[in-house]
Structure formats: structure tokens, C-alpha cells
Amino acid sequence: MQPHNLLLKFAPAWATISSNDISVVQRLCEVSRFLLMEIAKQFISSRQTQPIMMSVSVDGTPLMTRERWANSAGPSSVRRSGGCSHEFLVGRCFLRDSAGNRAVLFREPISLGAGKTSWHLWSACRSICRTSREYEHKSISISHYCFDRGIHSSLTGIMQSTHALVAKLQLSHTSDDPMDQILGLQDWVVDTACCCHDAHNAAKWSVAPLTENLKQTNRDLFISIVSVRNAYDLLVQEMGPWLAKTLVFSDDGMVDAHAVWTVLGVESSWVDELVLLQLHYKNGLLHIASSARRY
Ligand SMILES: [Zn+2]
């Protein structure tokens, strides 16, 4: 199967992989990782003299991984395997030029086994992608970083220093050409704190006084929100084909539509709309008044 078709096969959230698929998925990940990196590099190098924007966001994320241990002493050996929770830095980078062309760079999660200080995160962040100047870009470059609010100020400060250092190194290689000065001045670093983390913490703090088991409540909340999100995605996905198949415009409206909707407890402002639309089911089809066709 072509890599493109394999990606489509494994991409949906509901896709599951059998043990036979694992090696296929591993190879697919490696190929995609390499391909995205090459596309990103090419995106920047083919626009060396055009303004571009790089938006990099990273998040510390605990992930379950499968680990295997083996130990042997003389003729005896022991093997164990099991699930392990580790902290990883998951990052993505979005590129855009002034004409609106885009590229995206996803990288593999970087293990944060050595710690979670700003310097650890900076090191992991640097292995996700470099600055545009390091890919030989020479025009206006906007670098946007998004970090969690907890480490946002310190990590952004280190990133700004990194950009300044790269500019300085590049300038020291060359003469005092005025264009070199512009190279440093045209490298703009901006940042925002991660709003998803803000929302998560706000939700946690708001329910804390109402529950005795905050961990379990957070877990329940997470499952509820993800379920609602999945349901919404499914609705959006199925809505178009479903409407095309079942929607018909007709004028055989419902008898006493106003009374029916009112008895069903629908708010009066909605009742008027529903009466106007003559919305009703008949023979498995959704009927709507032909006068609504103009909408
Ligand atoms: Zn975040």
C-alpha cells in the first residue's frame, strides 16, 4: 500500500493497530518524520529573501510507553515488560510565507528523562527545529513561540538569547556589510503563553472546592470533554452526506405546528422559527418548507 494510503488508514482517532501493523506504523512514522523535516527545510531555503513566519509550540506531556527489561547472571536470565509513564516534550512548528503558503513540521516526542527545567526544555525544543537563520534565511523572520505559562517567561528569554547568539555568530563571519546588521534586526521573536494550559488550570481550580477527589474529577472531566469533542467531530463529518440524502423541500406542513412545538417545551423564539420552516419528518425524510430554500 502507498504511504499516503497507509497514513489515511491509521490517521483516524478510532483506528486500531494489530501487532502485525506495529512495524508498518513505525516505518511510516520514520518516513513521515524525515519527509516533514525535508519539506520544512526546503520551504525556508526556497524563500531566503522573502518574509516568513515560524510558529513553534511545545508542551510537556506524560505518555504511556511500553518498556522491556532483561537481566542475566550466568545461565539464568529474567525478562520483564510493562507500561511506563514518562514525560515527553511534544512539539510542532507551522511555517507561513507572505503569500499565505504553509508547511507544517511535526516531530517525535522528545524524552524529558533528565528533568523539566527551562534548560532541559530548551534543549528538547532545539532538537524539534532550529531558527530560520540557521536554515540560511535572510529576510524578515517572525519567530513565534508558545510555551506553558509556568516556564513561559524564562524559556522565551533563553530563546531570545539563542536568536541573538545565532545573529552574532553569523555577523562575525562576515565583513561590516550593512546588510549583516539588518539580518539581525529583521529577526523578530514574539511569544504567547499556552491558552490550553490556562483553560485546564482554570477548570481544575474552579472544581477544586466542589470535590474531594480532584484527580478523579479531573479525569472524569477530561473524558467528558474528549467525548463531547469526538461526538462533535462525528456530527460534522456525517452532517453533510446525511442532509444531502434526507433533506427535501415541500409544502405539506405539519398540522398545528405551533401547538406541537409549544407542548414539547421548545422556547417561544425557536417555536416561531420551527413553524416558519415547517420542520418535520415523514417517511424517513426531513421536510422543510420550500420558502426556506433561499436560506
Ligand atoms: Zn500547553
**What mean pLDDT comes out for the span 183-207?**
88
Q: Are 245 and 219 in contact (CB under 8 A)?
A: no
Identify whether residues 173 and 266 lie together within a single domain.
Answer: no
Measured in Å, residue 207 CA sits from the centre of ligand 1 at 20
Say how many Å lie between the CA of residue 60 and the centre of ligand 1.
7
Residues 165 and 258 in one domain: no
Judge if 282 and 173 occupy the same domain: no
Task: Assess whether 124 and 26 both reside in one domain.
Answer: yes
Q: Distance, CA 58 to ligand 1 centroid (Å)?
A: 7
Q: Residue 43 domain-assigned?
A: yes
- Compute, in angstroms, the gap from residue 150 CA to the centroid of ligand 1: 10
Instruction: Tell me the per-residue pLDDT of 128-177, one tens digit each, with 9 for 90 and over.
Output: 889 998 988 989 999 999 998 888 899 999 999 999 888 888 776 665 66
| Average model confidence (pLDDT) across the chain | 88
Say how many Å lie between the CA of residue 170 and the centre of ligand 1. Answer: 32
- pLDDT tens figures, 251-264: 887 788 899 999 99
- How many angstroms does the Cα of residue 252 sit away from the middle of ligand 1? 53
In a domain, 230, yes or no: no
Q: Is residue 7 part of a domain?
A: yes
pLDDT score at 103: 94
Same domain flag for 43 and 175: yes
Does residue 233 sit within a domain?
Answer: no
> Ligand 1 mean position to 249 CA, how many Å?
47
- 219 found inside a domain: no
Ligand 1 centre to CA of 202 (Å) is 13
Tens digits of per-residue pLDDT, 84-125? Answer: 888 999 999 999 999 999 999 988 899 888 888 899 999 988
Helices 3-10, 22-45: inter-axial angle, 10-degree rounding: 110
29 and 111 share a domain?
A: yes
Q: How far is the CA of 156 from the centre of ligand 1 (A)?
A: 14
- Say how many Å lie between the CA of residue 244 and the centre of ligand 1: 39
Containing structural domain, residue 150: 3-12+20-64+81-194
Q: Collapse the DSSP code of 226 into the 3-class scheme (helix H, G, I; strand E, B; otherwise coil) and give the result.
A: helix
The answer to whether residues 145 and 26 belong to one domain is yes
Q: How far, in Å, is the centroid of ligand 1 from the Cα of 153?
A: 14
What spacing in Å lies between the alpha carbon of 149 and ligand 1's midpoint?
8
C-alpha cell, 101: 503558503
What confidence score (pLDDT) does residue 176 get?
63
| Total domains, the chain | 2
Point out the domain boundary residue: 175, 194, 213. 194
The tens digit of pLDDT for each residue in 50-92 reads: 999 999 999 888 888 888 889 998 889 999 988 888 899 999 9
